[in-house]
């Protein structure tokens, strides 16, 4: 039902609604319902302006909310169009005082992990892969609203293919602010004394160091993981000594969550993918000697693409699990 004359409705949506693919979701929902208007980010969250009655839109907004998003409130008020919209669009974000919530980083989603591990894909073995459902958020933001120019990704102009994905409303990278690929995005670098390497050579250097019993600082989304071969007693002892952690359990990074308790597996497959505490019997092969620490271990499936590439891209054997603090 179209509202008379140039009158419309403005919806103010608050919650975790920036950096979660919310505007693309709103755009797709508006297309499905054949609505006219626009959507944008601002300092308080997301603003949707509609020409039509918003009742069904609001119902479906709650029913089909993106997995990383959380809607706290939807407020409606009358709005007068200076010119009636011909379609529904995503308009430029508004500035102003920032009161909206910043979304935390999210573990690499299954679709991106599968893409990263598939030969022939454009992002095969690319450790900085992400989409609207996963990847860095909080740790790359310089200012709000959450748009690429206000993140560290502003230093990496999009290539033609990434720009096409970014503009395609039906692509899972539609308006994914950190979108990148090997042609236009950041790449791996290896530093060890005077030794330098980049891209795949950097990855191979890190893997060689791990296999040789060394400790490698792997930069993840929000900081560094100090990693070593979890089945190398000497390497684990050296890590414990350097961290001054003689007994406290260390986190174990595993290729997958197979063999872990159901509760742990459920947590590890959420966007948060936290480190979970499990009894050491579930990682018995990693608990010989003094490796396990007292009582248990922290399990961490490889859901962050940069550390995960140490498993998938470098083709470590099944026994070459890593250990991180």
Q: What sign for the dihedral angle of Cα 133, 138, 144, 148?
A: negative
Supply 30's token pair. 């508006």
Q: Is 23 a catalytic residue?
A: yes
Selecting among 32, 41, 99, 232, the annotated active-site residue is 41
Output the six-digit token pair for 211. 């296999």
Is the Cβ–Cβ distance between 76 and 127 less than 8 Å?
Answer: no
Question: One of 23, 137, 291, 323 is an active-site residue; which one?
Answer: 23
Distance CA 165, CA 228 (A): 37
Of the candidates 303, 309, 316, 234, the one whose C-alpha atom is nearest the C-alpha of residue 269 is 303
The two three-digit tokens of residue 109, written as one number:
């989603």
**What's the maximum distance between 2 C-alpha atoms anywhere in the chain?**
78
Backbone angles phi, psi at 228, to 5 degrees: -150, 170
Is 41 labeled as catalytic in the residue annotation?
A: yes
Q: How far apart are CA 320 and CA 317, in angstroms?
A: 5
SS3 3: coil
| Strand ordering across the sheet containing 37-42 | 70-80, 7-16, 45-50, 37-42, 88-90
Q: What is the DSSP letter of 52?
A: B
Enzyme catalytic residues = 23, 41
């Amino acid at each position: 039902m179209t509202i008379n004359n140039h009158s419309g409705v403005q919806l103010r949506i608050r919650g975790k609604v920036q950096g979660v693919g919310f505007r693309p979701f709103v755009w797709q929902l508006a297309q499905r319902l054949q609505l006219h208007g626009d959507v944008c980010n601002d300092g308080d969250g997301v603003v949707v302006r509609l020409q039509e009655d918003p009742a069904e839109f609001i119902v479906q907004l709650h029913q089909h909310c993106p997995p990383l998003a959380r809607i706290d409130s939807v407020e409606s008020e009358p709005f007068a169009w200076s010119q009636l919209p011909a379609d529904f669009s995503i308009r430029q974000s508004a500035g102003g005082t920032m009161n909206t919530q910043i979304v935390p980083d999210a573990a690499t989603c299954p679709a991106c992990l599968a893409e990263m591990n598939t030969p022939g894909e454009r992002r095969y073995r690319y450790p900085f892969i992400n989409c609207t459902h996963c990847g860095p958020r909080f740790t790359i933001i310089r200012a709000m609203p959450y748009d690429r120019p206000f993140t560290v990704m502003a230093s990496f102009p999009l290539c033609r293919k990434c720009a096409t994905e970014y503009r395609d409303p039906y692509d899972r990278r539609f308006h994914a602010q950190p979108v990148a690929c090997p042609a236009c995005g950041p790449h791996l670098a290896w530093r060890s004394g005077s030794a330098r390497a980049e891209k795949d050579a950097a990855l191979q250097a890190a893997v060689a160091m791990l296999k040789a019993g060394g400790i490698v600082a792997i930069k993840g989304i929000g900081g560094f993981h100090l990693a070593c071969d979890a089945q190398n007693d000497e390497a684990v002892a050296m890590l414990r000594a350097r961290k001054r952690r003689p007994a406290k359990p260390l986190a174990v990074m595993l290729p997958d969550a197979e063999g872990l308790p159901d509760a742990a597996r459920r947590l590890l497959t959420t966007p948060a993918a936290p480190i979970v505490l499990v009894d050491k019997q579930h990682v018995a092969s990693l608990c010989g000697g003094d490796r396990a620490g007292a009582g248990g271990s922290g399990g961490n499936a490889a859901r962050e693409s940069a550390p995960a590439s140490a498993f998938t891209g470098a083709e470590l054997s099944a026994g070459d699990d890593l250990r991180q603090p």
